[in-house]
Chains A and B, each alone.
Chain A
Amino acid sequence: MDELYLDNIDEYVNDQDKIVTYKWLSLTLGVHVNTAKQMLFHYLDHKRKESSAQLNATYLVSGKFVDNGQTCHKVSVVKEDKLEDFKSKMSLIVSVHVYSVQKALLKDSGPLYSVDYDAVKDNMKNCSRYSAIRCASAVPVCSPELQQTREIQQSPTPEPENKKPGMNGEANLASKPSTKPQRGIMGMFANKSAPKNQDGGKDVKPEQKEDAPVVDLHKGKPDVKANPMTNFFGSQAAIIPDSPQRMETREPSWSPKKKVESVSHSHQGNSEMKTRKRRRVLKSRTFLDDEGCIVTEKGYESESYSEAEDDVQAAKRAPRNPVAAKLSSSTKPDEKRSHKKTSANANKGTKQASIMGFFQKK
């Protein structure tokens, strides 16, 4: 085995001032974890013999430990100077190996966790690739099968469309059995009209993604790759994005949920989440009635709108709803129901329902 790794480790430890853990080294150099442990040991040994280098190490010790009569298997990360002490307290030692090598003396093991966390996060898909255990059944299921199982899981839930506005992102999906779940989610956040959404998912998605308000809610992550919506429910897309992509798109995958919640809070009775949103708006209708008179009535009507208008309207709509509740000018029974519904919603929005409400003296 060539000894290039010694130079590599030297660079990481001395030049870059890094804390090199065996796991980080294994993922960085693409070697088995045990090889990485041995490499670290070799480096430590080599460097100390060569020069009185300023190097510190932490070790992993594991074994049988008896504490107040209770025997347990104990796994510990210890500083080098405490190694012998620790080993002497164990009744049986199972493993000892180098955990990390770094220039500075660590007072706290917190940084070790951070290093390993970052290493694993960058290699999510391959986190077990260099470990000593392989699990035959741990193979990621590819997307069509997963989608099928998801659709099967969703079908038992009977969700009438108008009942639960945005209460549960998945509930809205179930209400549209014709489209695939991902399109439903896509549909919630795209500005394009419904027909466009129906054809091939992939080409439309990047387009829609750009329009999606999700982008505004980013915490400044650079390029968001395709299919952020699909990652909301797991890797649905036929293109399997590899791990760096997925990590980048993880953040936006939460923001669609936030958007769904904000829509529901704007008290829309209509939850039909097609591509363009529909909402009920108080509008004046002028029409000719039976007797030939021109009548102007105020009533709720569905209209479709795009998100840009939503935020502007939201402020106006909230005070209007309680006013609308008092207007009983509408003749349509379902509009009356929607009045009650929106007024109920308005009440919920403005004041927390108190249990005292049940016990008011009338």
Chain B
Amino acid sequence: ILDKTRKLLAECGAQRAAKMATLLMFSDISAQKEASSLLCRPTSDDQGPVYERMSLAYSPCSERFTVGERSFSRQYAHIYAARLMQMRPLLSDRAQQKWGPDVLIRKLCDLQTGEQCCIVGTLFKRMELQPSILKEISEEHNLLPQPARAKCISETDELILEDELQRIKLEGQIDRDKCVTGSVIAIYGAEKNDGKFTVEDFCMADLPLQTPRPALSSDRFVLLVSGLGLGSSHADSMLGLQLLVDMVTGQLGDQGEQSGAATISRVLVAGNLLSQSTQDKDASTKPKYLTKKTQAGSVEAIRLLDELLCQLVASVPVDVMPGHHDPTNYTLPQQPLHRCMFPLSSVYPTLQLASNPHQASIDGVRFLGTSGQNICDIQRYSSMDSHLEILEDTLRLRHLAPTAPDTLGCYPFYQKDPFILEECPDVYFSGNAPTFESKLIKGPDGQEVLLVTIPVFSSTQTACLVNLRTLACEPVSFSAFSADDDEERCGGLWRCGDCGRWG
């Protein structure tokens, strides 16, 4: 075995040389170093290499999504008013850019029948299948509570545009199934005799301006991961998670890989650190005598998380964002998880407990993203299925979560809507996607943004590495083995990998 391995390694060396010319991905960078084999006896000299973790300038922009004093005595109308007020001038500019500087921009109350003009307002989609608490409890309907549907769109949906004073039904060249309530857009067309507005064209606010990111001299990476799912009954993904931690902290791998891992300057965990099964939803309805001495499902899971984070923060700065299943508030913006839950890891200054959404600048590269609730909600109320497509759409709409507060829980902000993108990020991500996808998009004013949908780690065992210098994104996956791998199937026969018997 030893000779065979040595021969293979020599061949690998030749392969590596050939691959030098290709685009440098993490694997390539890690493999570039001299072939130092760990498949040999330990040498008497040094202890082993120690690489310095690349340390980069980091500044979180957390004030935006921090909710200070919380007052729930307000109506949600204020957010919509603030949203429209802030976005109207942006949309007027875009309208003029698209349909000419002398396009008529009218308020709904000033509409003349038959006149070609542009109107700016908030979309509202009236959906039959949208869950309505009032319908459910109304005695007239006698409806039983409906289970949550995957998609709430139907053929009978109607699109309506609302501005400060009025609303009008829309029809025409606008794909109703792709639109969601809460988007602010500009529409070009005319009001016909029947009182509806016929759409000929429409436009969105599109990407905001972007400050060019600094040119970096060397490759450095940020690891994005989400959906750790700790505390679930299936512990299958735990070794994969341990391998991830070991790779980032430089425990596993050859010297090349370890020195490559030292260039991972930060780890960002985008939500759902805990599994959904830790949320004992029925705990509040269970009688006291059943729940008195039991511990919440999340307690053990948080302890596991703390131990995991402790290993990471001892070696790399980590940003932790909460998600749908994590113990923090439900409404967006979700506040950072509390330090008291992490006694082991919170003593390290490298632990950064962040909000959801989260915005930060890592070595001048601006990151903005969420744990995925905004994307999932749009997926539910539109015909779109690809998380990446929806992610791009929210960027073009210039709004992180247009369906908030209609179908997505949100804090009743008063004079501002913090989900409006004011500055274009360089990396825009969303967590807990079913698969990994990434795309580099360009904006109308020369912006360049990397879109990343981070997959759920507990089911895909995949994380992503973003190269800050090139804005390339590469998936990293981890695997182990299980008893099922042993069977080899051949036609109708199968052979046991252990004893070799046929069955």
Contact = CB atoms under 8 A, between A and B. Distances in A.
Interface in A252-282: 253-254, 258, 262, 265
A253 B315 CA distance: 25
Nearest to B303: A250
B479 A77 contact: yes
A17 to B, nearest CB: 19
A137 B288 CA distance: 47
B349 A232 contact: no
If over half of B's interface residues share one DSSP class (helix, strand or loop), that class is named, otherwise mixed; here it is: mixed
Given A38-B38, A121-B307, A137 B343 contact: no
B384 interface: no
Given A23-B246, A62-B257, A233-B343, A73 B26 contact: yes
Given A72-B475, A73-B25, A98 B39 contact: yes
Interface string B280-297: 000011001000100100
A140 B348 CA distance: 4
A124 B9 contact: no
A313 interface: no
A169 interface: yes
Given A34-B38, A113-B242, A60 B252 contact: yes
Given A107-B483, A133-B250, A71 B43 contact: no
Nearest to A146: B347
A71 B472 CA distance: 12
Contact of A137 (B19, B299, B317): B317
A113 B238 contact: yes
A185 B284 CA distance: 26
B501 interface: no
B349 A139 contact: yes
B235 A110 contact: yes
Interface string B198-223: 00000000000000000000000000
A133 B474 contact: no
Interface stretch (A86-94, A189-197, A202-210, A325-333): A86-94
B376 interface: no
A153 B359 CA distance: 20
Interface string B283-325: 0110010001001000100010001001101111100000000
Contact of B28 (A64, A84, A110): A64
Contacts of A65: 477
B144 interface: no
Nearest to B346: A234
Given A41-B39, A235-B343, A128 B315 contact: yes
A94 B27 contact: yes
Contacts of B2: 45
B16 interface: yes
A132 B344 contact: no
Nearest to A42: B41
Contact of B476 (A41, A73, A107): A73
B4 A75 contact: no
A41 B40 contact: yes
Interface stretch (A288-296, A300-308, A334-342, A352-360): A352-360
Contacts of B307: 120-121, 124
B195 interface: no
Nearest to B138: A359
A133 B258 contact: yes
Contact of B250 (A92, A132, A265): A132
Contact of A124 (B41, B299, B310, B346): B310
A98 B349 CA distance: 34
B475 A73 contact: yes
A128 B345 CA distance: 13
A95 B38 contact: yes
B302 to A, nearest CB: 9
Contacts of B40: 38, 41-42
Interface residues of A, number: 90
Given A35-B47, A77-B479, A134 B31 contact: no
A324 interface: no
Contacts of B485: 82
A231 B485 CA distance: 44
Contact of B5 (A96, A107, A113, A116): A96
Contacts of A141: 347-349
B344 A131 contact: no
B474 A72 contact: yes
Interface string B15-42: 1100100000111101100000011111
B44 interface: yes
A28 B75 CA distance: 60
B347 A235 contact: yes
B262 A64 contact: no
Contact of A76 (B261, B316, B479): B479
A37 B16 CA distance: 23
Interface of A: 1, 22-23, 26, 31-35, 37-39, 41-42, 45, 60, 62-65, 70-79, 82, 84, 87, 92-99, 105, 107-110, 112-113, 116-117, 120-121, 124, 127-128, 130-141, 146, 150, 153, 156, 169-170, 231-235, 246, 250, 253-254, 258, 262, 265, 349, 352, 355-356, 359
Given A93-B12, A96-B38, A134-B50, 19 more contacts: A26-B251, A32-B47, A62-B253, A75-B252, A77-B481, A92-B19, A97-B253, A99-B252, A127-B249, A132-B259, A132-B262, A133-B50, A137-B317, A232-B343, A233-B340, A234-B342, A254-B299, A254-B303, A359-B137
Q: Which 5 A-B pairs have the closest CB atoms?
A: A32-B48, A133-B250, A95-B254, A109-B480, A97-B38
10 contacts: A64-B25, A75-B247, A75-B477, A113-B235, A124-B310, A127-B311, A128-B314, A137-B53, A254-B303, A258-B295
Interface of B: 2, 4-5, 8-9, 12, 15-16, 19, 25-28, 30-31, 38-44, 47-53, 55, 68, 133, 137, 235, 238-239, 242-243, 246-247, 249-262, 284-285, 288, 292, 295, 299, 303, 307, 310-311, 313-317, 338-340, 342-344, 346-350, 462, 465, 474-483, 485-486, 498
